[in-house]
Amino acid sequence: MREFSLPALYEVPADGNLTDLIRRNAALHPEVAVIARKRAGDWEDVTAAAFLEEVRTAAKGLLAAGVRAGDRVVLMSRTRYEWTLLDFAIWSAGAITVPVYETSSPEQIAWILSDSGAVACLLETEAHSGALESVRDGLPELSHVWQIDPSPAGPGALAELAAAGAGITDAEVDTRSSVADADSPATIVYTSGTTGRPKGCVLTHRSFFAECGNVVERLGPLFRTGEASVLLFLPVAHVFGRLVQVAAVMAPIKLGHVSDVKTLTDELASFRPTLLLGVPRVFEKVYNAARAQASAGGKGRIFDKAADTAIAYSRALEHPSGPSLALRLRHRVFDRLVYGKLRGVLGGRATHAISGGAPLGERLGHFYRGIGFTVLEGYGLSESCAATAFNPSDRPKIGTVGQPLPGSTIRIADDGEVLLHGEHLFTGYWNNEQATSEALADGWFRTGDLGSLDAEGYLSLTGRKKEILVTAGGKNVAPAVIEDRIRAHALVAECMVVGDGRPFIGALLTVDAEFLPRWASGHGKEGLSHPELLADPELLAELQGAVDHGNAAVSKAESVRKFRVLPTQFSEDSGHVTPSLKLRRNVVAKDFADEIESLYER
């Protein structure tokens, strides 16, 4: 199939904007807890009426500071309650939010503030203030800076805005809130980019209405007001995190924030969400940690049998006859012994998760559905306001990224590129007409991704158009297929396939720093240094097993013949991955050119 679309389930308001959502919630559900925030270590509910009042108070401060309709205001912070509060306050002031990752360098901060022409900035910490101050001389349009965290210099952004806006009335805020319509820009999201300067994707209020409205309607039972809740731990500076935020407010369902993923397990246990949204690495780590813990306790074989049963059970659900009696009985036993504990790690109440950013892998997808926790894979980009395809909860098809967002169309071009059309798409790149014209043609967005549609309109991705490798023998190789399978191994942190213009395909691997000590302890190698572990024959044999598993998915010409283990991990700080954890392939290839060359030495 070359093209597939679904009818819209949600109609975008003709003359509204996103601030209508919080006023509607306060009018219809004033006492419903729409957000929970952490205070003194405990979760505290915030009602719809209270949230609206706090948003108005912050917006008054922005108006008092001279922020005008259409101005750009930068928001730089970890995921926290104040992020959502200030995002809606910026919109209530008629302004445009420009999110910046809290891990951004001074150079990146300077570029985004300069390119967007931001007049004000809300940032989180003293460190962020210092980073901004180091480049502020080059930002003549920036007139106001507030720090969210209190400091010796001030009580914090919310208190300062409240004091400054004391003379502004609710009516003045409501008047300003109504200035923007559905086609006004709501945000400029700068793509982290794997090469070159980040580009600012202009997303309108219409983009978010079309995106979040159709997601909420299509996944209706997962967004039931008064019953459902979601814990947001993704960066809200990323468009996927923003989808979670706006969709939760639109439903509305209770929204919680986690600033530090290291505390995620504890926060899941205390918040107990009914819905999770994450990236595949999170679900891979939960599985790998559970398996390692079982092995350390002498129950590795039981866990593996339980995993095989869960996968078989999930696969059987796709057949008309369903699981056999023997399989159902085996599944029931392991549900008491293993699956219930795993669901407990995920908070105990969640039955579904939405995953994006990279493929989860079919085996892991079946494993999670088999334990009673279905991971619905989706696909999207900043330019598509997050999800442009996702698996419906009532008809998931594991191994695909689902059907198009209702109200949109997916088309497969003659060369296999995925093209998109719909109200959720961005309107262009800020101050970059050339890039806009290259990406958009007759209302269709060129994603740069390669894929195919099955007879029911489910999309499967095969790789990036620009990342296709062509070996010396003329074989086209899509790296993502084999990389994702290799990376699924507990020991592997990252994998990058190489071989463009070379006689065969090779790979660079990094080892997971968190899992390596567990592996060493379980194999009697605690005394070995890090370099000795990376050169250990037993560890290399396990990594070869991971490569063999990846090779099983491709032809011989596409398989990895040799690999090298790198002494460090790819990270955002090292410049090897973007804030959304995508590989900067050109940077990796440059920094590890010698290691790549060694793969092809005779």
Instruction: Please tell me the predicted confidence (pLDDT) of residue 192.
Output: 64
Q: Residue 428 — very low, low, confident or very high, per pLDDT cuts 50/70/90?
A: very high
Characterize 494-530 residue by residue with b for buried, 16 or more Cβ atoms within 10 angstroms of its Cβ, and e for exposed.
bbbbbbeebebbbbbbbbbeebbebbbeeeebeeeee
In terms of C-beta density within 10 A (0-12 exposed, 13-18 middle, 19 or more buried), how is residue 224 classed? exposed
- Reply yes or no on whether the pLDDT at 537 is more than 60: yes
Longest CA–CA span in the chain (Å) reads 77
Residue 522 DSSP symbol: H
CATH of domain 278-465: 3.40.50.12780
Residue 582 CA to residue 466 CA, distance in Å, equals 14
| Mean pLDDT to the nearest integer, 231-255 | 95
For the segment 108-132, the average pLDDT, to the nearest whole number, is 96
Question: Rounded mean pLDDT of 555-584?
Answer: 86
pLDDT digits (tens, 9 = 90+) for 6-46: 999 999 998 899 999 999 999 999 999 999 999 988 999 99
Q: What average pLDDT does the segment 71-91 reach? A: 98
pLDDT in tens, 35-54: 999 998 899 999 999 999 99
Q: What is the pLDDT of residues 505-531, one digit of tens each?
A: 999 999 999 899 989 998 999 889 999
**Amino acid in position 37:** R
- The per-residue pLDDT for range 193-207, each reduced to its tens digit, is 544 678 999 999 999
Sequence ranges of the chain with CATH classification 3.40.50.12780: 17-180+229-273, 278-465
Torsions phi, psi for 450 (to 5 deg): -105, 140
SS (H, E, C) 352-383: EEEECCCCCCHHHHHHHHHCCCEEEEEEEEHH
* C-beta neighbour count of 348 within 10 angstroms: 13
Determine the 3-state secondary structure of 188 from DSSP. strand
What is the predicted pLDDT for the residue at 196?
60
Residue 520 phi, psi (nearest 5): -60, -45
What per-residue confidence (pLDDT) applies to 481?
Answer: 81
Mean pLDDT of the chain: 93
Please say if the pLDDT value at position 88 is more than 90.
yes
Name the phi and psi angles at 363, rounded to 5: -60, -45
387-427 pLDDT per residue, tens: 999 999 999 999 999 999 999 999 999 999 999 999 999 99
Domain with CATH 3.30.300.30 in the chain: 468-599
User: Which three-class secondary structure state does DSSP give residue 331?
Assistant: helix
CB 41 within 8 A of CB 271: no
Chain centroid to CA 22: 24
Tokens encoding 177: 């809130």
pTM of the model: 0.85
Q: Decide if pLDDT at 575 tops 90.
A: no
The reported pLDDT for the residue numbered 602 is 67
Q: What is the CA radius of gyration of the chain?
A: 24
Q: What's the CATH class of domain 17-180+229-273?
A: alpha beta
Q: What is the mean pLDDT of residues 131-140?
A: 94
User: Among 226-230, 454-458, 522-526, where is mean pLDDT lowest?
Assistant: 522-526
Closest CA to 505 of 495, 494, 497, 516: 497
468-599: CATH, from 3.40.190.10, 3.30.300.30, 3.40.50.920, 3.40.47.10: 3.30.300.30
Instruction: Say which DSSP state 571 is in.
Output: -
User: Residue 24: what pLDDT?
Assistant: 97
Determine the average pLDDT of the residues in 130-154.
94
Cα–Cα distance for residue pair 168/165, rounded to 1 Å? 5
Burial of residue 601 (CB within 10 Å: 0-12, 13-18, 19+) is exposed
pLDDT band per the 50, 70, 90 thresholds, residue 323: very high
Per-residue pLDDT at 193: 54
| Residue 190 pLDDT | 94
Match 């039981």 to its residue by tokens: 302
Using the predicted structure, report yes or no on whether residue 541 has a pLDDT greater than 60.
yes
Strand, coil or helix: what is 97?
Answer: strand
User: With bands split at pLDDT 50, 70 and 90, how would you rate the model's confidence at 364?
Assistant: very high
Element (H, E) at 71: none
Give residue 197's pLDDT.
79
* 24 CB neighbour count, 10 Å cutoff: 16
